Amino acid sequence: MISLRTWRAKGELVCQDTGYSMEVRAALWCFLLAAIAGVVLRMAGAGLVGFETLDLSNLRRAHSHLMLFSWVTPALAALIASNATPDPKIRVFLRAMLVLGLLSFPSFLVSGYQPVQIGSARVPLSIIFSTLSMFAWYAFAIAWIRIRGEVQTTTNALAVRAWDGAIFLLVLGSLGAWARGALTGMGNKDMFLQHAAVEFFLTTYVDGFLMIGVLGLVLTTNGDRWKAASKCMLGMIIVLTPFEFLAFLPIDLVPKSLRPVGAIAALCIGLGGLYFAASVNDHLARAFLLVLGGGKLMLVHPESAAEVLGLGLRIPYLHVLLLGFVTITLVEHISLRWSTDINPSLVRPMVVLALVALLPTTGLWPSFVSRELGLVVTALASVLPVGAIYLGINARWFPLFQHTIPSSCPR
Ligand code: HEM
């Protein structure tokens, strides 16, 4: 994240076209579409709207897949790639991510993971589109190897190291999805393996690619404050992330010999998060890293992990990470690179309010205050980040295909 001072000091970047502006703009529109689906879910949760034909669990899947596949992944990939000369091939990969994520939205909405009836055939459309998205990730990973040398000349070494790790974990994590497909194909009924494959994919993708990739963005504006220690901490987080999924699985499923592995990974990654919370300059990034690092420490002990999950903290934690840390950082860096009218000073408080308003959805909500009323507040507050980002992209970035030059730039 970027402090206002750095923001102004970096003002000279604002007028450069670093490529991929159309793709980033499209990703922001995907955020809005997915966020509207999220708001509808919150409204339904508060009883403000009701649907007879729409399955809300399908809407939840449509929301989460669009957010992950067509917002955060292409936006982060574009920001990383924008540190090198714009590459037409990368543009194609970003577009593929966007289009495949968008195509999966209606199929998740209509049938979730189930096949869709097309004529006489039943076609698993949402799985097909999600699987194809992974090929766009692989293509981007190969492109990263090509542009990495150039990025090294424009960006600090710690950020490049973070992106190396993030992109490696993106590819590694996808093997979990393949493994799950293979297990189902082989008719394997082992509960540990089935859950492990999915959890490995999710954890390595979200806590690996997204969290570490976005930490890389934060490090571009925070520099290497404690160079050698930061290098070690980052290395430790990258190496241990593939084992962290063991701490997220229900404890009874995990073989006894593997339980300490998950606990040690969660402990070290949690401490790594706290380390970076202390080393970055930005207050909000620091606060998010504190919460996220602290959250991981709660997973170290199986009993506290069960308690945390029992309090319904999984989804709020995911949103602190994905809507808070990841989305705020992406939006700020996009604004810096491509000069949108998105105002970080507005987005930040709106997102924080929406996150604080998640309290009524958890077991932490005090029993003497009406939960029904609390859920209405949650639903209303969920509109705030949507409004803040919409106002920013609507102001000058509204036409999706128009190449816009900010009025502050020399023409
Ligand atoms: C205004 C912004 C957002 C709103 C209103 C919103 C709303 C929601 C709601 C209501 C749920 C279902 C919660 C439940 O079932 O208890 C959900 C789940 C989820 N959301 Fe969001 N969300 C937002 C932003 C994001 C972002 C930015 C991401 C990712 C980049 C994201 C990823 C997810 C994921 C992964 C799930 C879990 C899905 C599952 O477990 O099936 N959300 N969101």
Overall average pLDDT of the 119-137 stretch? 92
Sign of the C-alpha dihedral, residues 57, 178, 292, 310?
A: positive
**Per-position b or e across 377-403, b if 16+ CB within 10 A of its CB:** ebbbbbbbbbebbbebbeebbeeeeee
Cα angle 14, 15, 16; round to 5:
95
Q: Which of 163, 88, 96, 80 is nearest to 130 (CA)?
A: 96
Give, using CA atoms, the residue closest to atom 16 of ligand 1: 315
Give, using CA atoms, the residue closest to atom 13 of ligand 1: 315
Domain boundaries, the chain: 155-300
**What confidence category does residue 8 fall into, taking pLDDT thresholds of 50, 70 and 90?**
very low
CA 382 to ligand 1: nearest atom: 5
Helix-, strand-, coil-residue percentages of the chain, each rounded to 5 = 75, 0, 20
* Ligand 1 pocket: which of 321, 322, 325, 375 to mutate (most atoms within 8 A of CB): 322
On the question of pLDDT at 303 being above 90, the answer is no
CA 323 to ligand 1: nearest atom: 27
CB atoms within 10 A of CB 86: 14
CA–CA separation, 165 and 149 (whole Å)? 15
**What confidence category does residue 224 fall into, taking pLDDT thresholds of 50, 70 and 90?**
low
**What confidence category does residue 226 fall into, taking pLDDT thresholds of 50, 70 and 90?**
low
Least confident of 10-24, 87-101, 352-366: 10-24
Overall average pLDDT of the 327-351 stretch? 89
- Digit-coded pLDDT (tens) for 22-41: 999 999 999 999 999 999 99
Answer whether 212's CB lies under 8 Å from 230's CB.
Answer: no
Which token pair is 11?
């003002």
Is residue 122 classed as helix, strand or coil in its secondary structure? strand
Overall average pLDDT of the 118-131 stretch? 90
In the reported structure, the alpha carbon of residue 87 is separated from the centroid of ligand 1 by a whole-number distance in angstroms of 32
38 lines ligand 1 (CB under 6 A): yes
**What confidence category does residue 87 fall into, taking pLDDT thresholds of 50, 70 and 90?**
very high
In the reported structure, the alpha carbon of residue 47 is separated from the centroid of ligand 1 by a whole-number distance in angstroms of 18
Answer whether 215's CB lies under 8 Å from 276's CB.
Answer: yes
- 366-375: Cβ within 8 A, 24+ apart: 372/46, 372/47, 375/42, 375/45, 375/46, 375/47
- Digit-coded pLDDT (tens) for 371-407: 999 999 999 999 999 999 988 776 554 444 444 444 4
Which position has the token pair 């159309």? Answer: 22
Give, using CA atoms, the residue closest to atom 4 of ligand 1: 38
In the reported structure, the alpha carbon of residue 38 is separated from the centroid of ligand 1 by a whole-number distance in angstroms of 6
pLDDT, position 282:
87
Beta-carbon contacts of 110 under 8 Å, excluding residues fewer than 6 positions away, are 58, 116
